[in-house]
Structure 1
């Protein structure tokens, strides 16, 4: 789906639009979130009222047995704002070290409040525990915020201002003190903390979800733009791969960015020029090879009347070699093998047949592999390619071994011989058309210089791979051909 005017924007403005849109979307969600999840309450306690409430709670706890303390504390007027819980052991509040971790004057203010509580209750400082923390952002606090103000009347200040570090502000305030007076034994305690509004879990989820939502929104927009840039590049890569394998045009479509549209037009024009260049030269080669058939036919007729049998045999041999070269050249230039439709074959049976044919011609050829191996391919093209490899091995060596390995998703054919081989530096040159390497090809062995070239073109047209190396067992050349199976083709027949 194309957005109006979007396709006219260049890549740089698109990236800027996506960044700004992502930031605006995150900001909008941030502003709308308080309408869905209400912010935490801000509870303001008068310091004197808080001290009186703590003393009242301790006095009521001392006046009744331990079993009746929950009921006695239930009637406290402060229960509307505070949870007052009697305990039979000292609570684990990470003790007063929590207030030591606060910064600057705020830590001193809470430490002073702890001493005031101990003095009001007549307890030793170690019998009073105070836990408080410093909220990073009060709007995103999960628990209600507590502010303890000095005795009223006072001038109201912005207690949420970060510059007012001496304010008694905390989002997790807890006070615990021992019930028993000094000199008496007992481990009963009272824990006092602001009453929960029941929204802590929801706010915690919100605090985790907001950053994740921002990442998802910005990431989604970025992926959308990136895909719009990468998809045309993938199309270009696929078209270039097809042009290199099949020598056929693969014109790319109209892209949605001005820069990419210019690249697509230039790429299509380049394909047309390359195709025309290659077709013209292949047509010229094919025409020359075809036109040579008539004079070669006349030469064959004249050779039949030569009185000398040795001369006649030599001339006819030269004519046969020239006809073989023309046939291979026409096949290569006409690209006929790639026009063949795909069909299912038994590759193992084909290799066994090729080996038997070469053995009947007097070559020591052996086959090693399964009796059956299915492959979906162009049968004539594959047979021509593999026959070229077996024929090369027979021409340049005395012993040839053909091995087939079936890996399920691909098959690998290895043709090895005991000939002189090809040096590593000449591997690339061996695949060039009409190339004869002095170490392996000569007048006696014949050859058009197109055997490996045709084999490579056929293998690449099947999305396969062909590689040259040295045979470990025979010491000569080893050619490895890997052909992937198409989806749905049977692994074995």
Structure 2
């Protein structure tokens, strides 16, 4: 039961607009439609009492009154009188001769209309002719008083002197045209409100979009300029808090870098003293091991400082031919005697920092050489991104270690020997650089053996 309810909620949410602007517009339009529906309901249910203008009872009363008035008027004055009586609600025409009748209708409800007129005139033999101009089912106007008199029905009543009066309904404000006009007005109002709502919603949500862009930039460039405080009060408060957070993060990174630089400087002095003392050791084997340990410690200190400081991070970004960079790195390693191959387009441009990306891909290629004996680099565009795959023929690594190997100083090989690898900062540095460009790195084992490193970068 709970699963079915959640499924229904998910389906309902899927049909809802996803952005704040579209949801705001939908809310305004639905509120307008609901208001119009309530107004129409109030109008229809709160009309003044009494029969409508075209009901049968009102029609009979008007027709008989006009008939009696025209009959009491001398023939020379009748045309002027009829012209004065004629109006858009009920068209009236006087004809001194018997008109031609077409499509006369008999039976119910037309007989009822004829009986009502004759009864009102107190003349059972009065000539009353009802014609239907268009052959189509007639739902009224006659069976029920509330039905309206339409323009498709023509009523002719004979006068005592042989002339005829003809009546035709013709109110343009009633009937289907009124409903159509109401629908057109509704569509026009909804369209105008929707346009204004879209413009307003976009203006209201534009600061939110800028806020999201600033948050995205913060993950790529920690030194991005602060976000302008604009928009509603709540958004200005959020922007102010975001700028303070960005400033605190920048200070934290700067303090950490300064601390590591100070530690590196302070550690170099005792390392130098230890190296001098190691030179005085008489046992050659012991001296060699001590100097190797000191060299490894110095390398770790220098690598740690470079990783924390990330000098390349401060270089300007610009258009970069990634394909040319990868080919040059492969050529350098091939010239050094390693198995290195490039597959992909001759040119592919990204926006990035050349030194940083060169260092990142060099670390990945050197890892592939150290643990796989060689590598193949494949570059291809995928869904607005550039995907770089570096494949080696080594043993691969366990899936449980895929994320751990990106941690600083983490090495699968535990000997810490400089002959079997570096200090464990190569992958960490590469991921930092790639993520600083808005991309990412993922590892996977190849089915045929070896490790595949996949790097994605936005174009």
Q: How would you bin the TM-score normalised by the shorter chain?
A: 0.5 to 0.7
Deviation at 1:131, TM superposition (A): 2.9
Indicate whether 1:385 and 2:360 are aligned: yes
1:154-193 correspondence runs (5 A): 167-170=145-148, 172=150, 174-175=152-153, 193=168
Alpha carbons of structure 1 residues 196 and 360: separation in structure 2 relative to 1, 3 Å: same
- 2:452 is aligned to 478
Indicate whether 1:239 and 2:214 are aligned: yes
- 1:331 is aligned to 306
SS of 1:131's partner is coil
From 371, 378, 383, the equivalent of 1:403 is: 378
SS of 1:272's partner is helix
Q: Residues 319-360 of structure 1: CA distance to partner in whole angstroms, max 9, x if unpaired?
A: 443343333322222132121123444322322222233334
Indicate whether 1:373 and 2:351 are aligned: no
- 1:70 is aligned to none
Q: Residues 172-195 of structure 1: CA distance to partner in whole angstroms, max 9, x if unpaired?
A: 453379xxxxxxxxxxxxx98534
Deviation at 1:388, TM superposition (A): 0.8
- 2:138 is aligned to 131
Deviation at 1:285, TM superposition (A): 1.8
Deviation at 1:480, TM superposition (A): 1.0
- 2:247 is aligned to 272
- 2:18 is aligned to none
Q: Residues 179-228 of structure 1: CA distance to partner in whole angstroms, max 9, x if unpaired?
A: xxxxxxxxxxxx98534659999866642343234434554565566556
Gaps of 5+ in 2: 1-23, 41-51, 68-81, 94-98, 119-123, 156-165
SS of 2:243's partner is helix
Alpha carbons of structure 1 residues 305 and 414: separation in structure 2 relative to 1, 3 Å: farther
From 182, 207, 211, the equivalent of 2:182 is: 207
Gaps of 5+ in 1: 1-14, 32-40, 55-75, 97-107, 135-147, 149-164, 178-190, 486-493
CA distance in 2, matches of 1:197, 1:218: 28
CA distance in 1, matches of 2:455, 2:283: 46
Contact 1:397-1:418 within 8 A present in 2 as well: yes
Deviation at 1:482, TM superposition (A): 1.7
Deviation at 1:132, TM superposition (A): 5.0
From 49, 60, 64, the equivalent of 1:47 is: 60
Alpha carbons of structure 1 residues 278 and 49: separation in structure 2 relative to 1, 3 Å: closer
- 1:253 is aligned to 228
Q: Residues 41-94 of structure 1: CA distance to partner in whole angstroms, max 9, x if unpaired?
A: 96686427759999xxxxxxxxxxxxxxxxxxxxx9899744999898899xxx
Deviation at 1:310, TM superposition (A): 5.0
CA distance in 2, matches of 1:408, 1:123: 74
Contact 1:398-1:417 within 8 A present in 2 as well: yes
Q: TM-score, normalised by structure 1?
A: 0.59
SS of 1:282's partner is helix
CA distance in 1, matches of 2:295, 2:110: 107
Alpha carbons of structure 1 residues 48 and 196: separation in structure 2 relative to 1, 3 Å: closer
SS of 1:292's partner is helix
Greater shift in the superposed pair: 421-430 or 336-345: 421-430
Deviation at 1:414, TM superposition (A): 0.7
Contact 1:132-1:172 within 8 A present in 2 as well: no
Give aligned pairs, total.
375
CA distance in 2, matches of 1:170, 1:440: 100
Deviation at 1:169, TM superposition (A): 4.1
Alpha carbons of structure 1 residues 173 and 285: separation in structure 2 relative to 1, 3 Å: same
- 1:71 is aligned to none
Alpha carbons of structure 1 residues 217 and 122: separation in structure 2 relative to 1, 3 Å: closer
Contact 1:363-1:394 within 8 A present in 2 as well: yes
From 411, 433, 458, the equivalent of 1:436 is: 411
SS of 1:331's partner is helix
